[in-house]
Amino acid sequence: MKTLFTALMVFASTFLGLAQTADQIINDCNEVTGGKKWETVTAISMKANIEQQGMKIPFELVILRDGRMCAKYSIQGMEITQSAYDGTTLWSTSFMTQKAEKSDSESTENHKKTIGEFPSALNTYKSMGHSVSLEGEEKVDGVDCYKIKMTKKPQLIEGVEVPNIEYYFIDKDSKALIMIEAEIMDGEMKGKIAQTKFSDYQEVNGLFVAYSLYQGIKDMGGQTITFEKIEINPVINEEIFKYKGEN
């Protein structure tokens, strides 16, 4: 009986240890990039180039703590808003008509569920109610990483709630975030694994941010985004967020 009790205690402490370890790993990751300094950040502005098929496409992203955001790029002399949220409406620029168009209600609802993940889900997962667990260790491009599973609120796909799970790969040595993976739940790439890789961390106002991102589909290639300028708490022209189409 004593042996069984001891075994159960060891199992319980091991299980709890894994949960605590996941939290600690994330805490270490947040600390090396700025820790509590992130709490003073209300806005981030990023200017970059997207490298795609031998072309460099200028890209700009502005995100605010309150959830407003605007991502736009320039191509063939045209400025296209890829995605923007003004606090009420999620919208984008139609490439064909060059006019602002509202996103569908499902996309808007899914976006609203991400408000509060500022600057990322790693910083605010507890207040958002996301759960995390340590899934083990894996190599990412030769780097030994912790693999952490984060379970978020379900997404809506065609009116049905589906799991919303992401995997975060954190460098065991530097504690920096190296990659995020998530299964694509709809569209032509449904079932494929989306990857975002982070590199070239640089200091900005006492915070460390990745100046290079790789976004793509696992084993299928993707595109690199190289940031040229990142500003913390800049003056923002709030007109960029506002939906300018017909109601």
The span from the CA of 6 to the CA of 131, in Å, is: 28
The pLDDT of residue 77: 78
% of the chain surpassing 70 pLDDT: 91
The span from the CA of 224 to the CA of 213, in Å, is: 6
At residue 247 the predicted structure's pLDDT band, cuts being 50, 70 and 90, is low
The whole-number average pLDDT for the span 120-135 is 95
Structure tokens at 90: 């999620």
Structure tokens at 126: 């507890």
| Cross-strand bridge partners of residue 208 | 203
The pLDDT of residue 38: 94
The pLDDT of residue 78: 81
In the block, which residue shows the tokens 């990857």?
Answer: 195
The whole-number average pLDDT for the span 89-107 is 91
Q: Answer whether residue 54 shows pLDDT above 90.
A: no
| Cross-strand bridge partners of residue 70 | 62, 84
φ/ψ (deg, to 5) at 19: -60, -45
Phi-psi region of 54 (alpha: psi -120 to 50; beta: other; left: phi over 0): left
**Cβ-based neighbour number of residue 185 at 10 Å:** 18
Q: Enter the pTM of the model.
A: 0.87
The pLDDT of residue 9: 43
At residue 43 the predicted structure's pLDDT band, cuts being 50, 70 and 90, is very high
The pLDDT of residue 101: 94
pLDDT digits (tens, 9 = 90+) for 181-214: 999 998 889 999 999 999 999 999 999 999 999 9
pLDDT digits (tens, 9 = 90+) for 9-38: 444 444 444 444 899 999 999 999 999 999
Structure tokens at 14: 């091991």
Give the end-to-end CA distance of the chain in Å, rounded to a whole number. 71
